[in-house]
Structure 1
């Protein structure tokens, strides 16, 4: 017995006639009669009785009629609820962000999510990109913004942005013994690799990217201090302990304030990719899909209006993986 057969049965009882029901349902009368016989065979009892006044339900037929109406009414309710949920999503969405992304994205994302989707509870957790990825792998979050592609079979990622990395040093220089390039001059990585560098540790994603470019340029980075925190790196550089390479957006305020000076690296240009990750092993709720699309929209907007300094939107949203890379 299926939904279609229940509709047929209700129509026969309401019309009191197989022929009139067949006309309304646009089905041949013999086929309609066959459906009723199949229902009766499944239930093991007679459901309809042909009287001089027309077709009427038996006692068992009355029971089926009452429940069939409840079932079809509930189906309509479910359909309306599902459609309404799609248009007005609700539920909890857990988003993982690196701290540097959260500084730019969290406030506009929360503000816009509250405006568009008041029934969604958005929970944002911050950590380094590597930890955010681990949360994603452990299913502790629904969406993640990370700084690299992944090869996990259970994750799908899409590249949204590229951001520029720049060389920077203290405004007053590093002393008379260490000469810095003229301000505004584009640099090669080889020009600065020998200077005392303050960089994240070797397990940090940004450090891995810099080491990769250094190997490609056949130079060795002169790392004098290792510390993962961007704020600590900037403070140490401003104090004259060395220089560094970080995303332009991470140092733009200090450069504008005059405590640091920055240079573009053009040979080779060093850019870091920003990716949005989601699970392909769990069904995506309408709420998660809504926040996913909003994150993509806002990240592109932040790069276009200059609030994310040095970022360029990847126009065609290149897909890194569809579960498998």
Structure 2
């Protein structure tokens, strides 16, 4: 039984697929299977149950997966701390987040962090949704995920940072642009640029619309908030988006106006980690820097 065997087995349990793990590791499915078979021989029990659409851990597999995942997390922390000890304050911070998050939530914090820790490597992995970020955090050596705060996720600890109010983006010449705020009744049947329904923010917005009885008409869909604003500027409709830090709600020379929608519950965003008490010091410092920056901008 080797550490590689355990890492691969945990990855298979989380992915539910031998072939998916093989692709991630750039190896053959047979090589992944050999790691699992080696564990099964040593333990003397079957660890995976084959199903038509993948694999699931057996009772013995679940016990081993949970124990191995905890052990690997602790070992990764120890190895990172040893590296920092050997190299002074050098090391790395690995973050997964959405495509536009770095620009809106982290840009200034990254500059300050780099000035304070010039030898530290910052690595960013883009995820298309919070769900994808959760999966990446669980299946790799990433430190942090910036996500829309969601319901409890097994193996993940979430820490809210800021609440983002929703705004309606409208062209400056649109009648709604001169309003001080938007009522939910104003949203019924106007053309809206749709946020991805499989994204966390899009799902939160859809739920809020349903609870408030908003019958929104969606003519166009996009992959992120910035694209929604661009399409609004081009005249393809209106967009309901979060008011992110540093983006003014109105500017005299801007082609767009961002009008508050007070009735919509805010979108809560923040950090997710496997275990806060196991987070390397450099990653914690980066998380704190970003959080302070966001709170200051929205405070």
TM-score (norm 2): 0.63
Deviation at 1:104, TM superposition (A): 3.3
Q: Does 1:234 align with 2:214?
A: no
Q: Does 1:302 align with 2:298?
A: no
Aligned to 2:180: 185
Q: Does 1:218 align with 2:213?
A: yes
Deviation at 1:258, TM superposition (A): 2.0
Aligned to 1:279: 274
Distance 1:191 1:254, change over 3 A: closer
Deviation at 1:112, TM superposition (A): 2.8
Are the equivalent residues in 2 in contact too, given 1:145–1:275 (CA < 8 A)? Answer: yes
Deviation at 1:224, TM superposition (A): 1.5
Aligned to 2:129: 129
Deviation at 1:187, TM superposition (A): 1.8
Deviation at 1:159, TM superposition (A): 0.8
Distance 1:273 1:121 in 2: 28
Q: Does 1:243 align with 2:238?
A: yes
Distance 1:151 1:302 in 2: 23
Deviation at 1:232, TM superposition (A): 2.7
Distance 1:106 1:198 in 2: 26
Distance 1:161 1:294 in 2: 16
Are the equivalent residues in 1 in contact too, given 2:161–2:295 (CA < 8 A)? Answer: no
Q: Does 1:166 align with 2:167?
A: yes
Q: Deviations over 1:227-286 (max 9, x none)?
A: 2233332222112221010122389369424211221111x2331111211113x9836x
- The residue correspondences of 1:87-98 to structure 2 (distance < 5 A) are 88-98=88-98
**What RMSD over aligned residues (CA atoms) do the two structures have, in Å?**
3.0
Deviation at 1:158, TM superposition (A): 0.9
Are the equivalent residues in 2 in contact too, given 1:96–1:125 (CA < 8 A)? Answer: yes
Partner of residue 260 from structure 2, selected from 251, 260, 264: 264
Counterpart of 2:198 in 1: which secondary structure? coil
Aligned to 2:102: 102
Counterpart of 2:258 in 1: which secondary structure? strand
Distance 1:168 1:269 in 2: 14
Larger radius of gyration: 1
- The residue correspondences of 1:110-121 to structure 2 (distance < 5 A) are 110-121=110-121
Gaps of 5+ in 1: 1-80, 174-179, 313-325
Gaps of 5+ in 2: 1-80
Q: Deviations over 1:57-100 (max 9, x none)?
A: xxxxxxxxxxxxxxxxxxxxxxxx97x83995432221112233
Aligned length, in residue pairs: 216
TM-score (norm 1): 0.58
Are the equivalent residues in 1 in contact too, given 2:105–2:245 (CA < 8 A)? Answer: no
Distance 1:201 1:250, change over 3 A: farther
Counterpart of 2:261 in 1: which secondary structure? strand
